[in-house]
Chain A
């Protein structure tokens, strides 16, 4: 908050630069609690190109829409950063709610692709010039755009929780009984099921065919379309891949998702701020502590509070343990994908269980920790857990990571299956908004813990892991490297853990969040995990958006796969390391 109130010299200079260059098109956002600039839609591409090329903000981290229903307009928010580090820049573009439409930024930032499709799907904002504007999470033909503020779900009760009918009197009823179909469904008036033609994926196959043509226009071979998933053992959950094949070679590939779309954002906008915390656990369900971290940071930014020292250390310890448990599991599953059926995974899960024991001891749950609170953490370490963590990070984990490294890294089959496969150049990685291990394995040393330090990461001595080939093998190696760096951070944090309170002020059930917007981000195990939260001073967030690394990292999936064999598609997906709870949200 203090950062927002007193802009640095550099920031003031920046204000001048952008508004001076585009006096007509760019105006600073002067709403209270907001920052950044409002760009006119007709100048958007020009301004964005300037921001990328002249000002150096080459990384489009987050793109999301906000429905400002009372003002009758939609807003698209872009958060851009420099891959050389530092604070970001926010710019927005506004459009009327009816026939909402803004120019697509895919030509400037190719990483906008999936995020624009998502915004179209959920908010109904058209992106003119987008090469492939299809729905991404819901199916074609679904009625309406669910995140619009006047769109109501079939089980709608009230705009925000706690629901008056339940609290404080405690009436309980089944919401099914209020729905005419006794089910979670709603249909438009006059809808006739007999006349309905169900979706047949025509648009998907058309898009797939289109990409094939662009790539291999001179070849005249029979192209086979193959669908993998959503029920497939190697897709890490309910993920579907539509592939166009020539023999075994991949010509084009389209990820199809939404099979686990659980409406986090719609539910999040009905929830109170604190009620969202357990829902963040279920985004990337392998690393719930990191998810908590990002959300807590975003809301704390709005509230202008900071947790006490001990809580900061506990947060870092938990986040880094999460990173190790995630990476070790990712490596195990990756080896599964390569065909080493379950043996490496068994070793990996063994270590993960030890970390889960610690989580269970501090938070009460193995996976869904719900441990962070605004301005602190929920509980202090119970007796004996400190020693457990100490032994784990000083003794057992470093040994076991070395062991994995020893068994796998120079294994001939691993190397021949992964080296030179699925290469992503640094330029491509930045352009596609890849984040986390995928970006760093391509030779871009961009780690938010170092580039834009949050919490107390500036106190620790660690290196940003980076590898330079950008292939599947490097994406495996980088996870080993990162686990070693996490061990270093953990050893320092455990050594220095101070005594003291774990919560700023009294623990509160209903927090007061001043009006405004905030984008909080952490370096999650899968990449940049960001939360864009808009508050209007009410108990519920007006907008709650998750910048999910698993989702955005898939932008480059097609580029990595094209030209490789179908078996590598599986290996490459394993090396990106997605979790469907986060991809689909």
Chain B
């Protein structure tokens, strides 16, 4: 509870009479609001691959995620604030990940754990691998490593806390009037289809063989290979 100390909360330079200093704290709304949020981030219980093992170890006794108020991992996206994308994101899995993200209530954060989730990692060239989860959903913190050690993940989470600290209730995305648009869910096609890319796909596949400007594939009849 170190951030509960008066110097952390009380910094609005109001003079509080000495006899009240243990009972009254004067602070900004942002500070108390962010302090509450950053100290109880509930991650989604959601493991993809190898990194999930390190995530489990981080939650276990030696590294003890509970110190940050984050030990309550919720299996339901409706109750989670943070999605730790812990592992390789595959094309077969990405529709489910996007759906989970859409189901999480605001404010929500995404932490890309490890090389695969950040950019494809060692498996990037694979035909079923998404080159980083940020192709589909916005990422707040990237943690490098393959897999990142628990210490690295903790550092990533502390970085996320700093990000939360810097936010303000005035311009928070989730208090604005306009509705936040959901991310369209990718479709299983001959290859994964990002609905936001449909126009480009049509344009490219409609082209006749040998048309200039397009990077022709070496295997016949396939665009992009």
| Contacts from A to B (Cβ < 8 Å) | 137-139, 141-143, 146, 150-157, 175-176, 178-181, 183-194, 196, 198-199, 230-233, 237-238, 258-263, 266-267, 270, 278-279, 282, 285-286, 345-346, 349-350, 352-353, 366-368, 580-581
Contact = CB atoms under 8 A, between A and B. Distances in A.
12 contacts: A154-B191, A176-B131, A180-B214, A185-B194, A186-B191, A187-B224, A193-B201, A199-B188, A231-B46, A237-B49, A261-B90, A346-B61
Contact of B204 (A157, A187, A353): A187
A141 B190 CA distance: 6
B164 interface: no
Most chain A CB neighbours (cut-off 10 Å) among B131, B200, B225: B225
A155 B191 CA distance: 13
Interface stretch (B21-29, B31-39, B51-59): B51-59
A553 to B, nearest CB: 19
A186 B222 contact: yes
Interface stretch (B8-16, B92-100, B174-182): B92-100
Contacts of A352: 57
The 10 closest A-B pairs by CB, nearest first: A263-B126, A186-B224, A143-B190, A285-B50, A153-B127, A349-B60, A186-B225, A233-B75, A259-B93, A185-B191
Contacts of B122: 278-279, 282
Given A184-B131, A187-B201, A196-B187, 17 more contacts: A138-B128, A139-B188, A153-B126, A154-B225, A184-B127, A186-B217, A188-B221, A191-B223, A192-B205, A238-B49, A259-B90, A262-B90, A262-B126, A267-B125, A282-B50, A349-B62, A580-B49
A7 B91 CA distance: 47
B48 interface: yes
Contacts, number: 210
Contact of B189 (A175, A176, A198): A198
A175 B215 CA distance: 13
A232 B93 CA distance: 13
Interface of B: 45-50, 52-54, 56-57, 60-62, 75, 87-88, 90-93, 96, 100, 120, 122-131, 135, 146-147, 149, 187-194, 197-198, 200-202, 204-206, 209, 214-215, 217-219, 221-225
Contacts of B191: 142-143, 154, 185-187
A219 B91 CA distance: 40
Contact of B225 (A138, A156, A267, A349): A156
B146 to A, nearest CB: 6
A183 B126 contact: no
A200 B49 CA distance: 25
Nearest to A258: B92
A155 B126 CA distance: 8
Nearest to A267: B126
A256 to B, nearest CB: 10
A188 B190 contact: yes
Contacts of B90: 258-262
Nearest to B54: A367
Contacts of A184: 91, 120, 124, 127, 129-131
Contacts of A141: 188-190
B223 A350 contact: no
A352 to B, nearest CB: 8
B223 A189 contact: yes
Contacts of A179: 215, 224
A181 B190 contact: no
Contacts of B204: 180-181, 187
Contacts of A261: 90, 92, 128
B50 to A, nearest CB: 4
Contact of B92 (A138, A154, A192): A138
A183 B131 contact: yes
Given A143-B190, A266-B127, A368 B96 contact: no
A286 B88 CA distance: 16
Contacts of A232: 75
B50 A187 contact: no
A237 B188 contact: no
B220 to A, nearest CB: 8
B128 A263 contact: yes
A180 B127 contact: no
A154 B57 CA distance: 35
B50 A345 contact: no
A189 B202 CA distance: 10
